[in-house]
Amino acid sequence: MINPTEYLPRTYQARVSTYWWLKRWAYLKFILREASSVFVAWFVVVTLLQVRAIASGPAAYAASQEWLRSPFILALNVVSFLFVLFHAITWFNLAPKAMAVRVGGKRLPNLAISGPQYIAWAVISAGVAWILLRG
């Protein structure tokens, strides 16, 4: 099949600035959300280093705890925590928009979809904290 747009003149292409995402809060929010993925990846690196340290023995574990206390890593983890939190909140709020669940011909309200996720988040977080902090 012939693609009709293939024969259109393509001489004009509006240049979009590389910094287009700084122009509006909504755009910036989009880019910040996308950027959160870098901190998600950083968290995986930290977790794997911890797993390796724990497997290597008490001395390696102590060294890794010392490393996590160093100012740069600590600051990076504070920023990462804020980004991961931002990811979590935007993700839960996005779910009702990504999947429109209909019950009896009516669309479920947003809260009916994001609400249970917030509850699951709280329960899971409490569970993880309980396992790590008990006795």
Q: What is the contact surface with another protein in residues (CB under 8 A)?
A: 16, 18, 21, 31, 34-38, 40-41, 43-44, 46-48, 50-52, 54-55, 57-58, 61-62, 65, 68-69, 74, 77-78, 80-81, 84-85, 87-88, 91-92, 117, 120-121, 124-125, 128-129, 131-133
One-character DSSP codes across 46-109: HHHHHHHHHHH-HHHHHHHHHHHHSHHHHHHHHHHHHHHHHHHHHHHHHHHHH---EETTEEPP
Per this entry, what is the length of the chain? 135
Our CB check for another protein shows the closer of 81 and 97 to be 81
Our CB check for another protein shows the closer of 99 and 104 to be 99
CA–CA distance, 78 with 129 (Å, rounded to integer): 18
Our CB check for another protein shows the closer of 7 and 130 to be 130
Determine the residue type at 98: A
Look-up: residue for tokens 């396992």? 131
Determine the residue type at 32: L
Min dist CB 110 to another protein, Å, is: 16
Min dist CB 55 to another protein, Å, is: 5
Min dist CB 27 to another protein, Å, is: 10
